[in-house]
Amino acid sequence: AQSVSQHNHHVILSEAASLELGCNYSYGGTVNLFWYVQYPGQHLQLLLKYFSGDPLVKGIKGFEAEFIKSKFSFNLRKPSVQWSDTAEYFCAVNAGTGRRALTFGSGTRLQVQP
Amino acid sequence: SAVISQKPSRDICQRGTSLTIQCQVDSQVTMMFWYRQQPGQSLTLIATANQGSEATYESGFVIDKFPISRPNLTFSTLTVSNLSPEDSSIYLCSVEAPNNEQFFGPGTRLTVL
């Protein structure tokens, strides 16, 4: 069975600080990896995804993530956060073949202070 | 991308009643999923709903409590039956697009009194 761990439950940063949110998954086969964001009062939006190829993927709003297969990790990064990045961030995974439903991490609440 | 709508957006229900949630997609999709997001928690898969076959439920979720219909490739319903306060959650449907991306509806916020 797949599992996803997000180690940072609540992160508080000042504007312009750099961000890195950790995500580790447990699954022996090929995986697809996703980061979703949920802004206050809004629905889930896809930030970025990794299916194959270049392990460094770029998403919307200046976010990027790096897939490190040997570490089973897919950490999310942003060089300089803004107040508008305040949201809940979820890492998710599904099997590259077979089970298509997503397994989500517990989420990280990011609070950016102006 | 797929545009997903859900009805109702929120509801307050009495204990013992049922609520049926509708999910409409603007394009034909094979895979649809229903998730639950309990207050302050992450998303948990309830079931996978494929057109033309019975829904596949995750451990801890049963058809009698969460019956699902999938009459065509653009529509599905989830019913939450015999409601109790523990069912208070946000219920979300999602679909997998042909490019393997998954999109989520806005959710239905259910409060059970």
pLDDT digits (tens, 9 = 90+) for A74-111: 999 999 999 999 999 999 998 867 778 899 999 999 99
Contact B41 A100 (CB under 8 A): no
Mean pLDDT within B43-67: 92
Q: Are A105 and A6 in contact (CB under 8 A)?
A: yes
- A94 contact residues in B (CB cutoff 8 A): 102
Write the DSSP assignment of chain B as a string of letters: ---EEEE-SEEEE-TT--EEEEEEESS--SEEEEEEE-TTS-EEEEEEEETTS--EEPTT--TTTS-EEEEETTEEEEEE-S--GGG-EEEEEEEE-TTS-EEE---EEEEE-
Does A33 have pLDDT greater than 90?
A: yes
A101·B105 Cβ contact <8 A: no
Answer yes or no: are the C-beta atoms of A47 and A105 closer than 8 Å.
Answer: no
Asked whether residue A28 carries a pLDDT value surpassing 90, the answer given is no
Chain mean position to CA A12: 16
Higher pLDDT, A85 or A1: A85
pLDDT tier for residue A43 given thresholds of 50, 70 and 90? confident
Contact A36 B45 (CB under 8 A): no
